[in-house]
Copies of this chain bind each other. A is one copy, B any other.
Amino acid sequence: MSLIVAKFGGSSVATMERIRNVAERVKGLREGGQGLVVVVSAMGDTTDDLIELAKQAGSELSCREMDMLLSTGEQQSASLLALTLSNMDCEAISLTGWQAGVQSDANHSKSRIINVDPERIQQELDNGRVVVVAGFQGLSPQGDITTLGRGGSDTSAVALAAALQAERCMIFTDVDGVFTADPRIVAQARQLTSVSYDEMLELASLGAGVMQPRAVEFAMLYGVDVEILSSFSDHYGTIITEVSNMERQRIVTGVAHDLNCARFAIFDVPDQPGVAKALFRGLANARINVDMVIQSAMRDNRNDIAFTIEDDDLHKAVPVVEELVKEIGASGMVYGNNVAKVSIVGAGMQSNPGVAADMFEALADADINIHMISTSEIKVSCVIDEEHIREAVQVLHQKFGLDKIE
């Protein structure tokens, strides 16, 4: 019997009515003759409500105890779904992360799965049951409950699919799949039938947001075929798989954008070894993630360095950068959050040298100024003024013919 792992997120199980919808869906898959493991997140606001309670306990919230507290949310939704399925004559059993054999490291609140021992799940599957697993959680070598951090339930589902050698991992979400651009910005945006892991990674990290990058990495590592699809419709989804299975001639797969972007520019940085290290180590120590970094051409033994961070970190970053500017002997800095990032992504661009030029041309034709550029093997990103972001996405979607993609 073939096996499918299906994951339903928090909005899909937010109420008992939605849990019944999920149960209907699961029952439908089951009647297709599939062995089924279902991974669930916590119901809608449960996690937020628990965090609110915890805040009343004080300002120092131990990650180990928060994991203990928050993991109850998924345990509840898992048992409620199992109860609902059983009442629909679809035999089911719920398992916590540790019961499902999800072993993680002890890095509480953002733990990583290190192994899955599927013995208990296999035994329940052999008994003909649908196995509902509480997502987002594992067990540390110390025997403590851990949580896997943002998007952890996606990672749980992919890891279980890998361990059980499932035919496919279906991620049910609130969108139909992965699109060539955000349909709210580009009316002609088309749903992709498949994307490669690499492309999905770039699209996900650029704010397409349907699946967490860590889960995509995990799927790539273990070669798990993932399908992103809507839990609210019967529409077909988008399959994430090896690039080898895909149409090679597709150069650009999608246009992503990210408004959560702030920019710093530091002037007259001394051109000597260790300066960049001092700057970025200082930011890392303050737990500020740096995205793009540009160092301009040298002038009189002094450089300009620009970089972007997440908007959310701006407030925290300003005093840190001010201090670092003094420390490294730069002459000053400016910053702002009125910028955004637009990117084109496609596995095919590796062998097509003109793609970046096409992108810059399209933006120039629309009179959009580019502040920063960064490229990877399958992506070109530009930082532009935030006010131009909609237009930029639209002209690039048009330029690369994405409205006609198959």
Whether A193 is near chain B, meaning CB under 8 Å from some CB there, is no
Copies in the complex: 2
Cβ-neighbour of A54 out of B78, B80, B144 (below 8 A) = B80
Complex contact B99–A82 (CB within 8 A): no
Whether A16 is near chain B, meaning CB under 8 Å from some CB there, is yes
Whether A279 is near chain B, meaning CB under 8 Å from some CB there, is no
The closest CB in chain B to the CB of A60 belongs to B87
Identify which of A57, A78, A80, A84 gathers the most chain B CB atoms within 10 Å of its CB: A57
Contacting chain B: which of A69-77, A202-210, A231-239, A360-368? A69-77
Whether A33 is near chain B, meaning CB under 8 Å from some CB there, is no
Complex contact A75–B68 (CB within 8 A): yes
Chain B residues near A83 (CB, 8 Å)?
54, 57-58, 61-62, 65-66, 69
Whether A111 is near chain B, meaning CB under 8 Å from some CB there, is no
The closest CB in chain B to the CB of A139 belongs to B99
- With A79-B68, A80-B57 known as contacts, the answer to whether A120 contacts B143 (CB < 8 A) is yes
Complex contact B56–A68 (CB within 8 A): no
Whether A221 is near chain B, meaning CB under 8 Å from some CB there, is no
Whether A114 is near chain B, meaning CB under 8 Å from some CB there, is no
Whether A59 is near chain B, meaning CB under 8 Å from some CB there, is yes
Whether A303 is near chain B, meaning CB under 8 Å from some CB there, is no
Taking the closest CB of chain B, its distance from the CB of A187, in whole angstroms, is 40
**Interface size, chain A (Cβ < 8 Å):** 38
Chain B residues near A66 (CB, 8 Å)?
79, 83
Interface of A, helix, strand, loop or mixed by DSSP: helix
- With A53-B16, A57-B16, A99-B143 known as contacts, the answer to whether A64 contacts B80 (CB < 8 A) is no
Assembly CA distance A88 to B59 (angstroms): 10
Per the 8 Å Cβ criterion, residues 34-71 of A in contact with B are: 50, 53-54, 56-62, 64-66, 68-69, 71
Identify which of A56, A60, A72, A79 gathers the most chain B CB atoms within 10 Å of its CB: A79
Whether A165 is near chain B, meaning CB under 8 Å from some CB there, is no
Assembly CA distance A19 to B83 (angstroms): 31
Q: List 29 A-B contacts (CB under 8 A).
A: A16-B53, A16-B56, A50-B76, A53-B76, A53-B80, A58-B83, A58-B84, A58-B86, A60-B86, A61-B83, A62-B86, A65-B82, A65-B86, A65-B93, A65-B94, A66-B83, A68-B75, A68-B78, A68-B94, A68-B96, A69-B76, A69-B79, A69-B80, A69-B83, A72-B72, A72-B76, A75-B75, A96-B145, A99-B143
Please list the 6 inter-chain residue pairs (A to B) with the smallest Cβ-Cβ separation, ordered nearest first: A58-B87, A72-B72, A57-B83, A68-B79, A16-B56, A69-B79
Interface residues of A, Cβ cutoff 8 Å to B: 16, 19, 50, 53-54, 56-62, 64-66, 68-69, 71-72, 75-76, 78-80, 82-84, 86-88, 93-94, 96, 99, 120, 143-145
